[in-house]
Amino acid sequence: MSRGPLDGVTVVELGGFIAGPFAGQLLGDYGARVIKIEPPTGDPMRTWGVLQDGKSLWWPAIARNKESVVLDLKAEADRALARSICAQADIVLENFAPGRMQGWGLDYASLAAENPGLIMVHVSGFGQDGPRASDRGFGSVAEAMGGLRALMGFGDRPPVRAGISLGDSTAALFAVSGAMAALNERHRTGKGQEVDVALYESVFALTESLVADWEVGGISKQRAGSTLPGVAPSNVYSTQDGVEVLIAANSDSLFRRLAEAMGRPELIEDERFATHQARGVNAVALDALIEEWTSHLPSEAVEAAIDRYEIPRGRIFTPADIVADEQYRAREMVTRIEAPGYPEPMPMPSVVPRFTGTPGTIRSAGPELGAHTDAVRAEFG
């Protein structure tokens, strides 16, 4: 069975909470061996989120495919073992405050002197330098400073947040892509390097033309609720049976097909909706017309009409919708796996993306604290 495209790569994960561990989860999904070094108290993620008998239901997923090794890095003997492990690793992934690794003698310069091919990925709130480098920074702060929160919600109300940790998860994705780029460079030169991921910069990187729109175009984007200003129709519409369906028909060809699906072909020639720019200006009126149509039909009829004309659409899914959906089932996107200390198999998202030649795998759920300490001590001590 394939272990994934990173089979043979060893990753040492230090740190806790979300951004670093999620990056470690992804590297493990792709086949890397991930040795997670935890303090005696364990990663705080073990008791975060929804709990069952004091254990996080998130832990089996975010710590999957990892080995748990308990080391007290305040103790010299444990620091020496950590150095030995890192000296034989390909990637060290850490998300402590800048300077913490140096205080333990685990900084890049010290480790690379013995392991010049080492890649060290730093994940922190504000990066390794700059006036705020030493400040603590969670994903929520990154979303605020990265420009995202200012765009989320409705203009007449304070900014809102998504129901997940976008700032942390986005930084984790950049940490993985940075690690992969550095691995590729090492194949050419044999030399490792440091990869510096700041949470707020990771969020800012997603903001498209936000600054150019302001600095060059004189437009400061504002919160616009469930719509994207100037792009219509692309909104959520309620059906007769209370289902909410997102319909995205914001190109000229798609809008023509939507008008036909609605039985309103005259809208195609209506000057308010005839062009992309006109639809953007008249989005409120257009959304009202579409809602009038969807609200008088059951969801299945709306979806059937939209599908007949090949228009992008999707229901607003709840967890119940996800586990019941035929597309999720066909692609086996929900994996259930036995997890140590949990009474039943734990569902979690499967490996993304898919690799046709060397598919990633979920080989084990998050381990109990220190489950691999003795084995790793024997191997690296």
The pair of three-digit structure tokens given for residue 237, joined into one six-digit string: 């519409």
In this structure, are 295 and 357 located in the same domain? Answer: no
Q: How confident is the model at residue 32 (pLDDT cuts 50, 70, 90)?
A: very high
Q: In whole angstroms, what is the distance from residue 316 CA to residue 322 CA?
A: 10
In this structure, are 65 and 196 located in the same domain? Answer: yes
In this structure, are 112 and 259 located in the same domain? Answer: no
In this structure, are 176 and 241 located in the same domain? Answer: no
Q: In whole angstroms, what is the distance from residue 41 CA to residue 34 CA?
A: 19
**pLDDT recorded at residue 308:** 98
Does residue 3 carry a pLDDT above 90? no
Q: How confident is the model at residue 27 (pLDDT cuts 50, 70, 90)?
A: very high
**pLDDT recorded at residue 1:** 60
- Residue 245 belongs to a domain with what CATH number? 3.30.1540.10
φ, ψ (nearest 5 deg) of residue 342: -115, 140
Residue 218 domain-assigned (yes or no): no
**pLDDT recorded at residue 87:** 95
Mean pLDDT of 229-238: 96
In this structure, are 279 and 170 located in the same domain? Answer: no
Residue 56 domain-assigned (yes or no): yes
Q: How far is CA 279 from CA 2, 164, 229, 235, 274, in A?
A: 50, 32, 10, 13, 7
Q: Tens digits of per-residue pLDDT, 210-233?
A: 999 999 999 999 999 999 899 999
In the block, tokens 């409705």 appear at 154
User: What is the sign, positive or negative, of the torsion defined by CA atoms of 230, 233, 239, 242?
Assistant: negative
Q: Which residues contact 355 (CB under 8 A, 6 or more apart)?
A: 2, 4, 5, 30
**pLDDT recorded at residue 314:** 97
Q: In whole angstroms, what is the distance from residue 173 CA to residue 139 CA?
A: 13
Q: Tens digits of per-residue pLDDT, 344-372?
A: 999 999 999 999 999 999 999 999 999 99
In this structure, are 258 and 169 located in the same domain? Answer: no
In this structure, are 173 and 33 located in the same domain? Answer: yes
Boundary of a domain, candidates 270, 287, 318: 318
Measure CA of the first residue to CA of the last residue in the chain; give whole Å: 30
**pLDDT recorded at residue 128:** 98
Q: Are 225 and 281 in contact (CB under 8 A)?
A: no
Residue 326 domain-assigned (yes or no): no
Mean pLDDT of 154-177: 96
Q: Tens digits of per-residue pLDDT, 261-293?
A: 999 999 999 999 999 999 999 999 999 999 999
- Residue 93 belongs to a domain with what CATH number? 3.40.50.10540
In this structure, are 24 and 163 located in the same domain? Answer: yes
Residue 240 domain-assigned (yes or no): yes
The pLDDT mean for the chain works out to 97
Bridge partners (DSSP) of residue 347 are 336
Q: Which of 29, 43, 90, 168 is catalytic?
A: 168
Query: What is the domain range of residue 85?
Result: 10-206+331-380
Total count of domains within the chain: 2
Residue 324 domain-assigned (yes or no): no
Q: In whole angstroms, what is the distance from residue 121 CA to residue 193 CA?
A: 9
Q: Which residues contact 290 (CB under 8 A, 6 or more apart)?
A: 233, 235, 237, 247, 258, 262
- Strands annotated E in the chain: 10-14, 33-38, 51-52, 55-56, 66-70, 91-94, 119-124, 194-198, 234-238, 244-248, 313-315, 334-337, 346-349
Boundary of a domain, candidates 269, 284, 318: 318
Mean pLDDT of 23-36: 98
In this structure, are 335 and 370 located in the same domain? Answer: yes
State yes or no: is 72 an active-site residue.
no
Mean pLDDT of 119-146: 96
Q: Which residues contact 305 (CB under 8 A, 6 or more apart)?
A: 261, 262, 297
In this structure, are 302 and 368 located in the same domain? Answer: no
In this structure, are 349 and 308 located in the same domain? Answer: no
**pLDDT recorded at residue 122:** 98
Query: Around Cβ 180, how many Cβ atoms within 10 Å?
Result: 18
**pLDDT recorded at residue 101:** 97
In this structure, are 14 and 85 located in the same domain? Answer: yes
Q: Tens digits of per-residue pLDDT, 285-344?
A: 999 999 999 999 999 999 999 999 999 999 999 999 999 999 999 999 999 999 999 999
